[in-house]
Amino acid sequence: MIEAPNKRSAQIDVFVGQPGGMLKALHALQSQSEANFLSPADIKLVASKFGVPVAKVWGTVTFYSLFATTPRGRHIIRVCENAPCHVVGASDILAALEQHLKIRAGGTTTDGLFTLEATSCLGVCGVAPAIMIDSTVYGNLTKEQLPALLAEYRQEAQA
Amino acid sequence: MKYYRAHVLICSGSNCAIKGCQTIKDALVAVLNKHELQSEIKVVDTGCLGWCEQGPSMVIYPEGVMYSRLKNSDMDEIVTEHLLKGRFVHRLMTQSTDTLGLASPLNMTPFFQKQRRVVLKNCGLINPERLEDYIHAGGYTALATALDKYAPEEIIAMVLDAGLRGRGGAGFLTGKKWSYTKAALGEPKYLICNADEGEPGTFKDRLILEGDPHLIVEGMAIAAYAIGASKGIIYVRGEYDLSIKRMEQAVLQARENGILGEGVLGSGFNFDIEVCAGAGAYVCGEETALIESIEGNRGEPRFKPPYPAEKGLWGLPTCVNNVETLANIPAIIENSPTWYRSLGTENSPGTKVFTLTGNITNSGLIEVPMGITLREIIYDIGGGIPQGRRFKMAQTGGTSGGCLAEEHLDLPMDYDSLASHGSSLGSGALLIMDDSHCILDLTHCFLKFFVHESCGKCTPCREGTPALYKLIGKMTAGQGNQDDLELIHRLARTMQDSSLCALGQTAPVPVLSAFRHFWPEVEAHMTGNCLAHKCFSGRGSKHDH
């Protein structure tokens, strides 16, 4: 569903005029987007509201890894692939997820439920290897645990 | 005031949260209610106990008995045996807390015995969501003392005398940094707490913020008073939901109780704090990139000089300090610089918080006096290498640090000793690796991180990181030659000399330390042999088919 532009606009009015408000506006827009991303229309909207060139907003959005410019699945799976997770088997976790979901890192499942992203350190290395699904972190993972974990999200989507 | 005969403290730090501490708590409360013990026994959420490997964990006081690796089904036994009959549940006590079947108090276990908790003193002891708990543990007395007894210049002098060095990585003298901002012209001045922790293997700031958020409010308020800042910003990593929530809550509580805002604690000093969330960029840990990000821009580092002390946030004098640095301030004011200097070494006074990760029995969060050896950390506190394997190397300071080999196990952990061996203390990340790992395969992994995180502003880093990654990749594929080695050295030197910020300057460090300390293993790849059998698709030699 495409929301009316004036509704999107109202979501960010509060940040206009705030020092450094642009990032906050982008966070707000993305968190309320159904497909978890910032569309070209969103980016144009922010540029006009903040009175800056579209290129500047585009440059800012693509700089930060928490922002996306293409539609993503309902749930974002982020797999840490840095050294502390790597030494305890993160590459097996990523490979198992790719196999299970039948997508490569960066891709979205055909049912639109999951997007798989390889990411930098999530800061929970005490329980490596770790992944994050949306804002929930899962740690001390083995590849055997993954199917059951994903099944929970699938069930929830069907409910 | 209500008294309880026992307190059950449940670790609610991020690492235990992942392991289900909330459901443990719910199960415990249900059993307590069933036995009608809710008015006798108090259940408290607390900050990280440090022993993340053993989570979810709880400590029952007054005995100080720690139970680990808990399941919901264990709660019945803990309540009926320990809390009703006074008998310890030995099977849930970790081996080292349960020697000879007798419970040893928590601070007598090897994991805690060698630790010295200054920054983490309240973590695992108080409820971080209650201002009253923090005050009861002596909180905000340092701020009151600072405002009441000392002039701003005296505070700076005390921090200088204590010899506190920045705990974010660079190790610059905090008192000196403060004096530059204090002397700079322009109003208002800003104090920024850098909580954009992104160094792989580091999660200390997260657990400090989660476990004792008021300590950071207090440290920031004292720092602001010293440098004359009226505005504070704490920039927290966007992924750290709980840290953001706890800090926002602490700031609100402090404001409602006259600790922040107009006239801090009834003095003439005005100071308030804003919590700001990052958006996922490692380079924003660099102070000028962080300032750009707060201003709402791409987080690219600025040219220096001018330094933030002169022209920082919105072009005004700004001081940026790491979470752990600020967490040390109240203790210095309260106990004196001389006391602080009694901990640690001559050039690196105080304690350091480390995060233990990788192939180590007790992964988690620890705080030790500076100068402790790597061996003591790994074997006495960390419990050694699991699965009967041998220690091979430790990377200190995170991915931008160097790898140390077995012969460095007795090196004191302080700024200067590590620097002299091509590594760094950095953020306190300690990645321990056993003999199943290949130095080149790991170096390849370290470089992939820098390729991803290079911001693209300066050429040496933007072009250098992928070039290094490719060259090391060539070696792990058994296709490296003598020319590549020379190119790697030249590239590394160029990046170190000419990159704009520490990201590009330190990206070659893991490569150079690998070559320096593990040369025979690197060289073996040139002839198509991987001694750890990791490269060449796990065959160990590219000649085997």
Task: State the smallest CA–CA distance between residue B7 and chain A in angstroms.
Answer: 26
Using 50 as the pLDDT threshold, list the residues of chain A that sit under it. Answer: 1
Please give the residue of chain A at the shortest CA–CA distance from B433.
A87
Q: Give the pLDDT score at B106.
A: 65
Band the pLDDT of B108: cuts 50, 70, 90: low
Q: Please judge whether B203 and A22 are an interchain contact, meaning their C-beta atoms are less than 8 angstroms apart.
A: no
Identify all chain B residues contacting A82, using CB atoms and an 8 Å cutoff: 200-201, 399, 445, 449
Listed by start position, the domains of chain A span: 5-63, 75-158
Exposed/middle/buried for residue B5 (C-beta within 10 Å: 0-12, 13-18, 19+): exposed
Q: Which among B280, B281, B431 has the least Cβ separation from residue A87?
A: B431
pLDDT in tens, B322-357: 999 999 999 999 999 999 999 999 999 999 999 999
Q: Please judge whether A20 and B276 are an interchain contact, meaning their C-beta atoms are less than 8 angstroms apart.
A: yes
Q: Which helix (H) or strand (E) holds A75?
A: strand A75-80
Residue B126 contacts residue B137 (beta carbons within 8 Å):
yes
Identify all chain A residues contacting B296, using CB atoms and an 8 Å cutoff: 19-24, 60
DSSP line for B191-245: EEEEE---STT--HHHHHHHH-HHHHHHHHHHHHHHHT--EEEEEE-TT-HHHHH
Residue A45 has which token pair?
């909207």
Q: Is the dihedral of CA B325, B326, B330, B336 positive or negative?
A: positive
Q: Which among B203, B278, B395 has the least Cβ separation from residue A126?
A: B203
Identify all chain B residues contacting A127, using CB atoms and an 8 Å cutoff: 15, 18-19, 52, 55, 363
A-B C-beta contacts closer than 8 Å: 140
Q: Give the pLDDT score at A1.
A: 44
Identify all chain B residues contacting A132, using CB atoms and an 8 Å cutoff: 239
List Cα–Cα distances, B268 to B49, B218, B265, B318, in angstroms: 38, 17, 9, 21
Task: State the smallest CA–CA distance between residue B139 and chain A in angstroms.
Answer: 27
Q: In a mutagenesis test of the B interface, which of A56, A86, A149 is the best target, namely the one with the most B β-carbons within 10 Å?
A: A86
Task: State the smallest CA–CA distance between residue B363 and chain A in angstroms.
Answer: 5
Query: To the nearest whole number, what is the mean pLDDT of chain B?
Result: 93
Q: What is the assigned CATH class of domain B6-110?
A: alpha beta
Half-sphere CA count of B135, side-chain side, radius 13 A: 9
**Average pLDDT, integer, range B476-480:** 92
pLDDT in tens, B253-266: 999 999 999 999 99
Exposed/middle/buried for residue B386 (C-beta within 10 Å: 0-12, 13-18, 19+): middle
**Average pLDDT, integer, range B268-295:** 95
Measured CA to CA, the distance from residue B199 to residue B203 in angstroms comes to 8
pLDDT in tens, B374-416: 999 999 999 999 999 999 999 999 999 999 999 999 999 999 9
Q: Give the pLDDT score at B105.
A: 57
Q: Please judge whether A20 and B296 are an interchain contact, meaning their C-beta atoms are less than 8 angstroms apart.
A: yes
Q: Is the dihedral of CA B225, B285, A81, B447 positive or negative?
A: negative
Identical fold for domains B131-341 and B351-434, yes or no, is no
Neighbours of B59 (CB within 10 A): 22
Looking at the domain B351-434, which fold is it? Ubiquitin-like (UB roll) (3.10.20)
- Helices A54-63 & A21-31, crossing angle to 10 degrees? 70
Q: Give the pLDDT score at B248.
A: 98
Q: Please judge whether A127 and B293 are an interchain contact, meaning their C-beta atoms are less than 8 angstroms apart.
A: no
Measured CA to CA, the distance from residue A57 to residue B299 in angstroms comes to 13
Q: Please judge whether A88 and B359 are an interchain contact, meaning their C-beta atoms are less than 8 angstroms apart.
A: yes
Q: Please judge whether B449 and A20 are an interchain contact, meaning their C-beta atoms are less than 8 angstroms apart.
A: no
**Average pLDDT, integer, range B356-368:** 93
Q: What is the assigned CATH class of domain A75-158?
A: alpha beta
- What CATH architecture is B131-341? 3-Layer(aba) Sandwich (3.40)
Residue B217 contacts residue B251 (beta carbons within 8 Å):
yes
Measured CA to CA, the distance from residue B293 to residue B456 in angstroms comes to 15
pLDDT in tens, B162-196: 999 999 888 999 999 999 999 999 999 999 999 99
Measured CA to CA, the distance from residue B24 to residue B30 in angstroms comes to 10
Q: Please judge whether B198 and A126 are an interchain contact, meaning their C-beta atoms are less than 8 angstroms apart.
A: no
Q: Is the dihedral of CA B284, B288, B293, B294 positive or negative?
A: positive
AA letter at B513: S
Residue B103 has which token pair?
């419970």
Q: Give the pLDDT score at B107.
A: 63
Residue B463 has which token pair?
């072009």
Question: Quick one: how far is CA B485 from the chain centroid?
Answer: 34
Q: Give the pLDDT score at B19.
A: 86
**Average pLDDT, integer, range B412-438:** 93
More confident residue, B74 or B239: B74
Q: In a mutagenesis test of the B interface, which of A63, A66, A76, A94 is the best target, namely the one with the most B β-carbons within 10 Å?
A: A63
The CATH number of B439-526 is 1.20.1440.230
With a cut of 70, say whether residue B95 has pLDDT above it. no
- Helices B439-453 & B459-476, crossing angle to 10 degrees? 150
Task: State the smallest CA–CA distance between residue B14 and chain A in angstroms.
Answer: 7
Listed by start position, the domains of chain B span: 6-110, 131-341, 351-434, 439-526
Q: Please judge whether A83 and B355 are an interchain contact, meaning their C-beta atoms are less than 8 angstroms apart.
A: no
Complex confidence, ipTM: 0.92
Residue with tokens 């690219």: B300
**Rg, chain B, Cα only:** 24
Please give the residue of chain A at the shortest CA–CA distance from B276.
A24
Q: Give the pLDDT score at B229.
A: 98
Q: Which among A60, A81, A132 has the least Cβ separation from residue B298?
A: A60
Q: Give the pLDDT score at A8.
A: 83
Q: Please judge whether A26 and B363 are an interchain contact, meaning their C-beta atoms are less than 8 angstroms apart.
A: no
